[in-house]
Chains A and B, each alone.
Chain A
């Protein structure tokens, strides 16, 4: 994360530009967490909005005991759970959500999703579209085959091609990161 503690310190002192930096840096990931729990775009956006308003209002009383990132993720995690509880009173929440460790999993997941971004962009266009439709939007291979006038087998091949390329790209990106770390430690 490019965010440094200066922004958090600036936030404490009421610097609005620091606050905006923090918002830009964290809000998309936090939105994803809220969306994953609530499964609802407007609920997730409300939760994120509410969190940042409270963050600003209580900036002077901010107490962080793990890390600022953990603070944000756990706040969103619990706010989302509460929102879901309020909305679907009689629904049992899955054990995974109730688990505090899932906050750390969410944080790791957010990192991974950023890493995969450029890898996804590097997929050949046809491959990427099929991968997204099949895996992200969860359309069946048959649907996709019919939509693009392809055989089901071609779709399967494209999807596995996408996974292979993603793995390769992720490897390269990781090496690049290792390289950076190596340079830094020199």
Chain B
């Protein structure tokens, strides 16, 4: 992974930086505390990569060239900032540097032009803006192209795994090695996946643009699905590699904040951010040997997430992320598992099934039904899902079923079903848990 930036410097979370952020050249409000240049570069890599790359792609008109120039700009930053100090607005410095470099390369070598050309819509002229100077990267307002970049990476003509890889690479600035590690695939496989996706964007002319109103709901759903997938991959990494795992979770959170700051009126974006905050707060609760400090941080996350929920639900039929966030909020705000408002959770899952007919949602609803109406009622629903067959290899189905059998005192059946869950589970912590349950219900390990 890239060096972890020093985030204790009081600059706030990345979303805050994105909200009040620079639009090329403008100063970030407030004074940045003195930082070590290397930490400042790492910090800017984390916060500004998407902005810098998106703006450079517009000038370069070529994804690979843009990436190279942005990489070069970060290398140059380390040297220049060490000698001359850290600029007030690192993002604008990096963007200008990368764009100048791109223009330079394009002027020098016409052959390089159009290696992986990107189809860029010209910006409408801004009334009263100055005509472009000799360096178009310098005196023209730099547009915030981050949304164009995200929508291009998550275009439905790309396979989901390619969308995920490209988003991490182009929007988050992760290296192919890092992405390969996070998804437990060989580096060569990941490199081929990224290259193929970039070629398709160029050859099939996937436009660098934010979709129009008619397409937006579907296209946005693809973007949110990718971000959510990053989060869940980090959350439930199948094996080891804790650092990589935590990083994916944070990247997903950064992306959700960025999207929310760029599309504040999109209810599903709000829903996704709320969902991630609320889920993540509970994740650390579960993991948490951290004591009071951790608890305060969790409470902040829960408060922030819960505050987003009403706005995500209001104004028409709520979407699937908003509904999941509402459910997560009920969980997060419950004083205990038993004292959770299971009745309302069952209702919300019912509405969720209406907009998203996923058997996983149905399974979650069954678990909530078991809490609201007793294990027998929940078991009936799970057995119905078993007959449906779509969750045949889904480990949480036998795990949930076994738990209900255990609560009904059907120990032998419970042990057998826990064993079925164990067969499907790779995650070490989950295997431990299931093995303990098998022993408790009297089965052999």
Pairing of A with B: no
Chain A residues within 8 Å of B, Cβ to Cβ: none
